[in-house]
Amino acid sequence: MSIRLGVNPIMWSNDDMRELGAEVPLETCLAQARQIGFEGIELGHKFPRDPLQLTTTLGRFGLACVSGWYSARLLDRDAAAELASLRPHLDLLKAAASPVLVFAEVSGAVHGDFRTPLSARPLLKAGHWREFGRRLTQLAAWTAAEGVRLAYHHHMGTVVQSQVDIDTLMDATGADVGLLLDTGHAVFAGADPVALARRYAPRIAHVHAKDLRAGVCERARAGDWSFLRAVLEGVFTVPGDGSVDFDEVLGELRDYSGWVVLEAEQDPKKADPMTYASLGFGNLRRLVTERRL
């Protein structure tokens, strides 16, 4: 099987709104992830940042370190300065044998501010995409040379959110820049994750499998909610509990080899992590098995 199933700890402990799941110990998250059947897990704010402590902790639960989010500011600094900022995180991923770096530009981003609507997200002027793409390609070549592929995460409330943003980013960057396909963020932004999977299959380096509650999404768009309000209202859920056609998405990823990571930013007091992670894992495992991926 070329696809391995991992999970993000965000349904146990949220990184953008840390009061969500603040009471949940890291050990509970890791134990439940392993009990459900996941092979690996991405990093979150409760994880040790010392390489030995991290690998020892994950090893106790038989989990691989899949990857970890990095907040970039390439619009404000050149590739060399970004690499210097990235270095501790990159070295941690290398020490933990993580094959991919989850990378997102956060200059001016509004996804972490409960009061700021998504309409206030940053927009990159047409003339600035080429320089941004050049810096990103240079940085991605450097991380690739160290054995870690950069996977760019399109994300609500950031400079790369919409279908047009993703297309422009891919056109402005070289092959070293991989795409992280996030199904939930794609649909929320009005993009088609099936079409994205088809168009960029050779460059998809990582997948976040997140479902979307269409009714909540419609209200969020109509009301111009902030990203975090949408999260609290339950816009995201696990595969099989929303509107995303994961069978079609996986059908376009027939040649993909790597991690498919279950995600669902939810309030753990409203959506029990064990229950929802189990549901999402079961649905993903069934689809992957049926398609012999």
**Can you tell me the distance from the alpha carbon of 73 to that of 104, in angstroms, rounded to the nearest whole number?**
9
pLDDT digits (tens, 9 = 90+) for 224-281: 999 999 999 999 999 999 999 999 999 999 999 999 999 999 999 999 999 999 999 9
**Can you tell me the distance from the alpha carbon of 259 to that of 254, in angstroms, rounded to the nearest whole number?**
13
| Tokens linked to 69 | 């989010």
Confidence band, pLDDT 50/70/90 cuts, at residue 1: very low
> Any idea which residue has 């890291």 for tokens?
26
Q: What pLDDT shows up at residue 171?
A: 98
What is the share, in percent, of the chain residues with pLDDT greater than 70? 100
Averaged pLDDT for residues 62-91: 98
**Can you tell me the distance from the alpha carbon of 231 to that of 146, in angstroms, rounded to the nearest whole number?**
35
| Tokens linked to 107 | 């200059």
Among the residue ranges 94-103, 153-162, 175-184, 284-293, the one predicted with the least confidence is 284-293
Q: What pLDDT shows up at residue 273?
A: 97
Q: What pLDDT shows up at residue 16?
A: 94
Q: Which residues contact 112 (CB under 8 A, 6 or more apart)?
A: 16, 17, 157, 227, 228
Averaged pLDDT for residues 60-68: 98
Q: What letter would DSSP give residue 82?
A: H
SS3 state of residue 259: strand
* Mean pLDDT for all residues in the chain: 97
Confidence band, pLDDT 50/70/90 cuts, at residue 292: confident
pLDDT digits (tens, 9 = 90+) for 159-191: 999 999 999 999 999 999 999 999 999 999 999
Could you tell me if 130 and 169 are in contact, meaning their C-beta atoms sit under 8 angstroms apart? no
| Beta-ladder partners of 180 | 153, 206
Confidence band, pLDDT 50/70/90 cuts, at residue 291: confident
Statement: 3-290 belongs to CATH 3.20.20.150: yes
Amino acid at position 76, single letter: D
pLDDT digits (tens, 9 = 90+) for 275-286: 999 999 999 999
Residue 123 predicted with pLDDT over 50: yes
